Structure 1
């Protein structure tokens, strides 16, 4: 199936979900097509970032708008590491709130009825059997955990946040392996990265990495570090390597944002097409969208990237 014609989108925020034990209740934005039924659900996790608002439910409009216009109900939480919440460095799980971030997504799935009631016209239109997760940067780490990756906490206890209700995922410019691959800064400030284990990340996923994304503040391994979630996890997985792409992948975190170092609307459009097509096929087995998107990418006169799968 080729990509459907984009439709108008209804977006509502903030919807506040009760979250006992969390520092604050969970705020989400919901973006949905105004028509259609049996709509798949996409949980979209923001990165950590330097900006004040992109790292919240107000960010990632290029992805949220695209997916909602093409048949997904997109749900975006504000994770506890967002600068909009201004939680102090002494808060439990600070500063990146790796554990809480993944729990946010499970809380959302637990409270889909609350979300349906809050958004006019949404009730009865969700397909709860087709749930996907997507995350960029630290959000990619969150997605990896929900797809089955694990790490050890400060006490040496393995943290398992696998979410079986999620059937497929997209991991964008995400952190890779720990150990000697980490920079001194990352090892000292984000020790949970040191124990990341992708060997049980079994849920089908697409990993997207830029071949110029060296992220030197986090890793000494260079751009290939961001492909680790593909190479170090079991299949089925696919990897898109975008040529000349840096950490922003052309600008996925927002329109015309200052922190994008490789602004490129064509690259963003490619990310939109490829990620939508991958999830469309992953959630609707037999659909041709993913193969069509791969053919379009690799068959171009000047391809923007390459694809491999296992």
Structure 2
């Protein structure tokens, strides 16, 4: 799918987007309030929801509710309500929470944030001017990038063992119907060979065999995080390879960990800046989520057909 083609016309013209933040939720036991940004189309009802989990990148505000606007704005402009929390792992909170339990990654709290959001979705909906009564609470997806992809995977059913207690942990959220993992970490065990392996013991026992929820896994063809593993780009396909069906893998040609720059407009940390790729990823993920959340919607099949026949495709799709 080239920059000039694709399913964008399928969705109709983009709608004006209203973005409201912060919506502040006080959560018992959480060291700071949970703050979220909500982005929604100006018009429409029966709107599905995407919960988005940010990564752990080097920029302060991109690893917070203020990041990932290239995707959040696109999704909202095409009919989704996007809810973005600032997790405790955000660099905006790193000094304040340096000594807190679970720091610096707060792997469990990140997933729990999403459950708190779903528990209080009515409250969030009513807090945003003009949004009350427009959300379909039964159509919920989760998406996340990098560490946020790990968080999304937990909510979709990925199992792990708590590195402190050894107990098996399941944080699957049954209210979430589908998901998108963007450059999410792969398997643990002997795959973790880099120096960051000791800093992220929660990765060691990752078990994708329990991730049964329908999921789109997005991997960059040239993604490589040697500080975690020497497996190279194949590591990021593990959530597809080792999870049960139904799963879909989208491999983006030439993409590195930033997937063209999804974390922010003109982000300095993006090593593979490519606005056309980001736009195509927005269209493809929108098509996938529409077809998963709206039975009978053929946007994803048409997007795959266009990708297969495009003389200059941005990537390839595999499904099982």
Fold-level similarity (TM above 0.5): yes
After TM superposition, the structure 1 stretch with the greater mean CA deviation from structure 2, 89-98 or 47-56, is 89-98
**TM-score (normalised: structure 1):** 0.98
CA distance in 2, matches of 1:248, 1:298: 24
Q: Which residue in 1 is equivalent to 2:23?
A: 15
The answer for unaligned runs of 5 or more in structure 2 is 1-6
- Say which structure, 1 or 2, has more relative contact order (CA 8 Å, 6+ apart): 2
- Residues 152-231 of structure 1: matches in 2 within 5 Å? 152-153=161-162, 154-231=164-241
Structure 1 residue 285: deviation in Å?
Answer: 1.9
- Aligned: 1:146 with 2:155: yes
| Corresponding residue SS for 2:302 | helix
Q: Cα deviation per residue 1:213-254 (whole Å; 9 max; x = unaligned)?
A: 011111121110001000110010100001110000000011
CA distance in 1, matches of 2:177, 2:249: 17
CA distance in 1, matches of 2:174, 2:107: 18
Of 6, 26, 36, which aligns to 1:28? Answer: 36
Structure 1 residue 89: deviation in Å?
Answer: 4.0
Q: Which residue in 1 is equivalent to 2:132?
A: 123
Contact 2:194 2:226 in 1 (8 A): no
Structure 1 residue 151: deviation in Å?
Answer: 0.8
Structure 1 residue 85: deviation in Å?
Answer: 1.2
Once superposed, which parts of structure 1, at least 4 consecutive aligned residues long, lie more than 2 Å away?
Answer: 86-90
Of 257, 261, 281, which aligns to 1:251? Answer: 261
**TM-score (normalised: structure 2):** 0.95
| Corresponding residue SS for 1:199 | helix
Contact 1:149 1:200 in 2 (8 A): yes
The answer for unaligned runs of 5 or more in structure 1 is none
Q: Which residue in 2 is equivalent to 1:132?
A: 141
CA distance in 2, matches of 1:37, 1:76: 20
Contact 2:63 2:86 in 1 (8 A): yes
Number of matched pairs: 310
